Amino acid sequence: MAILGSCFDKIFIDEVQDLDKDALRFFEVLGCNDIDVYMIGDPKQAIKFPQDLDAFVRKVAPKEYATILPINNQTRRVPTEILAVSNSFCYEGQQQESLSEMVGELMYIESTDGRYDELLTNYLDTKQLVCIDKKNGRYTTSSKHKHAFPREIEEMIRDSNHKKDKALFVKAAFSDFMDDVAEVGARIAINRLKTSHGLTLSKQHLAQLLELCNSCTGHDVQFKVQSIESIKGLDADVCVIILSSNTLKYLTQNAISEANRFNKEWKKVYVALTRAKKRLVLALDHELLAKEDMAAVRDSIGELGFVTHN
């Protein structure tokens, strides 16, 4: 400890809600041995370890070596209209006050609306936040492709005329190819691939690429979105939350027991609700909510202030 004390005068740690009890204990030991440790975090966003920071604060609060500063309950990001929903997920005394001059918007759109796919695509294309609790139905949270070029074609691309890292070059070429397949179809995408990399393809190669395209486009996944956990710390003008039955249950706090308040799922919903600087949108995909009474769903989110997307 003397050696550590000679190396560190002050330690500053942000996002401490992401630390588990062992990591928190480590910094407590440093702090009680004359090393100044400054810790900043929000227990409302403690998704990975929902209870650890709360327990840590309760433990060290009475100690002479610990100083707990007053909680800053002001936010410059989230408008008052959205806080009206998210504040019901806060600990007592931690409800937020908005400093934003933006008028917040609460909207929802259903997959039965003809504009649904177009709106989601537009939000994704304009780099707004579109999130879901975990991959489900037409929505994936992974950027990894499950397919790859046939071996001979991959080798042609790897050995084509370029000066880049070969492995990265092939990955980029495949990603571009998949984007082209989705945008313009298999045959045009294959022609672009041939032209871009100067490939000479046999009939067998063409057949392999067509089979690859068919296997990819036949997959159910249509939207590549983000998990709620991955958007913690991010913000955008618009945040779209794709509701699952579980997220809906917590959002409306329907039959949530006292024991399940402030658990991982509860805090996921809080994080998702507090990413938008202007508009918060609920996406109601009827396939994901197949077991729900949609009329009751509309009523419950309507009571929270959400209106049909304009």
Residues 9 and 57 in one domain: yes
Residues 44 and 85 in one domain: no
Residue 12 is assigned to a structural domain of this protein: yes
pLDDT, tens digit, 9 for 90 and up, residues 19-46: 999 999 999 999 998 889 999 999 999 9
pTM recorded for the entire structure? 0.78
Q: Which residue has the higher pLDDT, 289 or 166?
A: 289
pLDDT, tens digit, 9 for 90 and up, residues 170-226: 989 998 998 888 788 899 999 999 999 999 999 999 999 998 888 776 555 578 899
| Cα 237 to Cα 100: distance, rounded to the nearest angstrom | 12
Indicate the number of domains in the chain: 3
Residues 55 and 201 in one domain: no
Residues 86 and 235 in one domain: yes
Predicted confidence band at 1 (pLDDT cuts at 50, 70, 90)?
low
Residues 40 and 55 in one domain: yes
**Domain that includes residue 87, residue range:** 80-141+223-308
pLDDT at 234 over 90: yes
Residue 114 is assigned to a structural domain of this protein: yes
Residue 74 is assigned to a structural domain of this protein: no
pLDDT at 94 over 90: yes
pLDDT, tens digit, 9 for 90 and up, residues 243-288: 999 999 999 999 899 999 999 999 999 999 999 999 999 999 999 9
Residue 75 is assigned to a structural domain of this protein: no
Longest CA–CA span in the chain (Å) reads 78
Asked if residue 116 lies in contact with residue 110, where contact means CB atoms within 8 angstroms, the answer is yes
The whole-number average pLDDT for the span 63-77 is 95
Residues 134 and 234 in one domain: yes
| Cα 85 to Cα 250: distance, rounded to the nearest angstrom | 12
> Which of 37, 69, 101 is the last residue before a domain boundary?
69
Residues 162 and 260 in one domain: no
